[in-house]
Amino acid sequence: MTGTTPDFDAVVIGAGFSGIYMLKSLRDKLGLKVKVYEAGDTVGGTWYWNRYPGARCDSDAYIYGFTFDKQLLQEWEWSERYPEQPEILRYLEHVAKRHELKRDMQFNTKVIGGEFDEQNNLWTVHTDKGDNVTARFLIAAVGTLSYTNVPKFKGFEKYKGKWYHTSQFPHTGVDFTGKRVGVVGTGATAVQAIPEIAQQAKHLVVFQRTANYCVPARNGKVDPEVTKARKADYDNIVKRIRESFFGQEHYFIPKSALEVSADEREREFEKKWDAGGFAYWLANYQDMFFDQKANDLCADFIKRKIRSTVKDPRVAEKLIPKGYAYGTKRQPLDTNYYETFNKDNVVLVDAKTDGPIEEITENGIRAGGKEYPLDIIVFATGFDAMTGPLKALNLRGRGGRTLDKEWGDGPHTYLGVSVAGFPNFFTITGPQSPSVLSNMPVSIEQHVEWITDLIDNMIRSGKTTIEATPQAQDQWVKHVNEVVNATLMVTANSWYMSANIPGKPKAFLPYLGPEGVGGYRKKCDEVAAKGYEGFNLA
């Protein structure tokens, strides 16, 4: 230790699921002095910002929450299978209140920079409210899909109507009644929002760049007996999801899609389809992500479903995904998405067949040579995923290095939780950890608990700094890429592959296996058991 006393033991950036639990853990378990900075005016993170119509979680609610608070697991009642944004926000507010977390959180405050002081081994953190504080540990709990992507369309500044990005929706909501509305994008967000907006708008134009494979969510009330049984079994459920591949109770069928009869396959597909949610995506035949032929069979089933739902065969054809394997882009869960295109007030403009968006005009959007007049444009155009929010922190590590420069060709991390040259800095569900390929609360809890143990260990053993070695980091990056290169994931222009943002270096952002979340947890625990192998502790 140096003679300089920092303002805080730890600064945590963000008060979503990650920041909430990180604060709870460091403050109440280790007794540290912690400060959380949050840009929003309350807790919630993703669930604070994403207020578009239809916003709800895509994981089953009974596994979408904190498991550290066993009593709350028993007490909390979700209203439906996939609760809506306001309900999840209420839950997070409740957790913050129950654990008296807000007193250590500063809202409406954005972290705009930070540098590691090599002399004193402290981080100095700067905020847009003029705070300049020092801390021993700096933890980014900034979320993975939090840096908004509004494409720079030609003519944007000329548009006279109102426009919104789904992740920065007005808190008062938007009244679409009687309006001509355009939605740009057909990702998981748009698939939730479009059916809702179509019910209100006079006229809705959907601008599709890439058709998606959507499967039914099958939202609804959960049978009280099922909920009761789950509550009685929570210890086992938690154990199972922690050890599972995706942090979900979904397991691949341990067979090839190619080895079973067409009848058996069809029965399995129907079963998954009827179950709804991620079952079709994450509990399908085990070679679906590896073998193009197996994948084609899974894809074909969805294509047939689209054709049988959408009445106009020309519209159905536009909605049929082409040119990439099923499951390699984030699975959207739909409630009446395909049915919405049967409505008279809904028009689909497909970039490939009708022509791409050329410009935003004073009155609307011009695509494929035709102008679509619009009163409101909703951009459901996603995020600069995973690396975007971290780079935006403007951190300077040893020797003034920046993430912008260090990650010039894609992320370089060790275990997705640490970056060489940035001592005592941790990223919860950072790039190259399972993160977005898992049920987020499971991965968040794993990282928070692992970081807490690490800090505890450092304090107990009188260590001042910890940082990933460049060698361990290089090996991890190599491993992450080797694993994904054996799958079909690399063949898609997905945000997982950084392909959605012009100029973003092509790199796979999360970590996929080979044993998923459970295997990754084991790996992290082994690293810790070997005295933090791959890290320099000083």
Q: Which two tokens stand for residue 178?
A: 């009687």
Task: For the beta carbon of residue 121, count every other beta carbon within 10 angstroms.
Answer: 17
Q: Which is nearer to ligand NA7, 184 or 484 (CB)?
A: 184
Q: Which is nearer to ligand NA7, 209 or 218 (CB)?
A: 209
Q: Using CB under 6 A, pick the residue from 55, 63, 111, 357 that binds ligand NA7.
A: 357
CB of 192 to ligand NA7, least distance (A): 8
CB of 502 to ligand NA7, least distance (A): 8
Verify binding: residue 380, ligand NA7, rule CB under 6 A. Answer: yes
Q: Using CB under 6 A, pick the residue from 36, 133, 145, 458 that binds ligand NA7.
A: 145
CB 386 within 8 A of CB 507: no
Q: Which is nearer to ligand NA7, 125 or 145 (CB)?
A: 145
Residue located via tokens 């919104």:
164
Strand-strand pairing, 132-140 and 8-13: parallel
Q: Which two tokens stand for residue 110?
A: 């954005």
For residue 438, give the nearest of 299, 249, 272 by alpha carbon: 249
Verify binding: residue 381, ligand NA7, rule CB under 6 A. Answer: yes
Secondary structure (DSSP) of 16-48 = SHHHHHHHIIIIIIT---EEEE-SSSSS-THHH
Q: Which is nearer to ligand NA7, 189 or 424 (CB)?
A: 189
Write the interaction track for ligand NA7 spanning residues 436-475; mark x where CB under 6 A is met and - where it is not: x---------------------------------------
176: left (phi over 0), alpha (psi -120 to 50) or beta: alpha
Count of positions on this chain that bind ligand NA7 (CB under 6 A): 21
Question: What is the Cα–Cα distance from 178 to 169, expressed in whole angstroms?
Answer: 19
Q: Which is nearer to ligand NA7, 208 or 295 (CB)?
A: 208
Where does this chain touch ligand NA7 (CB under 6 A) — which range of 21-29, 340-348, 380-388, 393-401?
380-388
Q: Which is nearer to ligand NA7, 124 or 186 (CB)?
A: 186
Verify binding: residue 433, ligand NA7, rule CB under 6 A. Answer: no
Question: What is the Cα–Cα distance from 535 to 107, expressed in whole angstroms?
Answer: 33
Among positions 179-198, residues that touch ligand NA7 (CB under 6 A) are 184-190
Verify binding: residue 382, ligand NA7, rule CB under 6 A. Answer: yes
Cβ within 8 Å of residue 127, ≥6 positions away = 37, 106, 109, 110, 111, 112
Verify binding: residue 377, ligand NA7, rule CB under 6 A. Answer: no
In 337-469, where do the E strands start and end?
Answer: 346-350, 357-360, 364-367, 370-373, 376-379, 395-396, 425-427, 466-468
Q: Which is nearer to ligand NA7, 426 or 495 (CB)?
A: 495
Q: Which is nearer to ligand NA7, 184 or 377 (CB)?
A: 184
Task: For the beta carbon of residue 424, count every other beta carbon within 10 angstroms.
Answer: 23
Q: Using CB under 6 A, pick the residue from 500, 517, 520, 527 that binds ligand NA7.
A: 500
For residue 209, give the nearest of 500, 416, 516 by alpha carbon: 500
CB of 380 to ligand NA7, least distance (A): 5
CB of 319 to ligand NA7, least distance (A): 12
CB 414 within 8 A of CB 472: yes
Residues that bind ligand NA7 (CB under 6 A): 145, 151, 166, 184-190, 209-210, 330, 357, 380-383, 436, 495, 500
